[in-house]
Amino acid sequence: MCLSKTLTLLLYSAVILETAVALTGGNTNNVYSPCSDTKIQRSDGFTFGIAFSSRPSFFLNQTLLLSPCDHRLSLAAINSQFSLFRPKIDEISLLSINTSSFFPDSYGGYMVAFAGRKYAARSPPAFIANSTYIVTSFTLVMEFQKGRLQNFFWKRDGCASCKGNPNFVCLNKQDCAISTPSCKGRGGTVDCSLGIQLAFSGTDKHLAVLNSWYEVENLKQYSLYGLYSNLKSSLTSQFNNFF
């Protein structure tokens, strides 16, 4: 397959909604494309992508979940969006995707996190939104072994964080959702921007243990917003009783 062509397609169709750059020195990873392989150490930046599309569009022949970098999916040719992020390894980060002009349900309502080429990793598709409900809070875990990305997965709390809050509905016993018509731009007043909490697990290329994952486990999911005071006011003031 022609990687450069795929990459060009990917990058040209990429809408960089938000870039989490945390390169305060110490970076040794010079791979900036989400469709290339790399090995990381702690303190490196690491580039990955999130593709927004419909659930079936992430599968080949409805069965095989592929990386959005794989040209067989031809995501670039259909109604999809891409975001690129570059968080710092082993640092707890909250990515935010402003939905004031980007309605995930207009692009199929699902997302997949991805990185790598030969060692391609991709998350399962996660439901974000349809015209009825929107899920605004996610935790994405990246698992590395000897510095090589092995896996992305979504960590869910079984709706523990919204239990008893009448603003939320628990979808499929796993996701806290609010009603889409309550969002700004959809007839309501709530800022429905997406917050994606990142965590790292496994080992880096020097076998140093990545453990931001354990820190997340030990914190209540929503309390992490407290670390981001600027975001907190925009993302959470609407759910004050919650924090």
Q: How far is the CB of 2 from ligand NAG (least distance, A)?
A: 19
If the CB atoms of residues 26 and 158 are measured against ligand NAG, the closer one turns out to be 158
The answer to whether residues 94 and 198 touch, using CB atoms and an 8 Å cutoff, is yes
Q: How far is the CB of 150 from ligand NAG (least distance, A)?
A: 22
Q: How far is the CB of 82 from ligand NAG (least distance, A)?
A: 19
Query: How many CA within 13 A on the CB side of residue 191?
Result: 15
Q: What is the largest CA-CA distance in the chain?
A: 52
The answer to whether residues 29 and 45 touch, using CB atoms and an 8 Å cutoff, is yes
If the CB atoms of residues 32 and 59 are measured against ligand NAG, the closer one turns out to be 59
State the DSSP H helix or E strand holding residue 235, giving kind and residue range, or none if neither.
Answer: helix 229-236
If the CB atoms of residues 54 and 130 are measured against ligand NAG, the closer one turns out to be 130
State the DSSP H helix or E strand holding residue 229, giving kind and residue range, or none if neither.
Answer: helix 229-236
Determine how many CB atoms are found less than 10 A away from the CB of residue 118. Answer: 6
If the CB atoms of residues 26 and 181 are measured against ligand NAG, the closer one turns out to be 181
Query: How many CA within 13 A on the CB side of residue 25?
Result: 0
Residues that bind ligand NAG (CB under 6 A): 60-61, 64, 96, 98, 100, 130-133, 171, 191, 193, 234-235
Q: How far is the CB of 128 from ligand NAG (least distance, A)?
A: 10
If the CB atoms of residues 141 and 235 are measured against ligand NAG, the closer one turns out to be 235
Q: How far is the CB of 49 from ligand NAG (least distance, A)?
A: 21
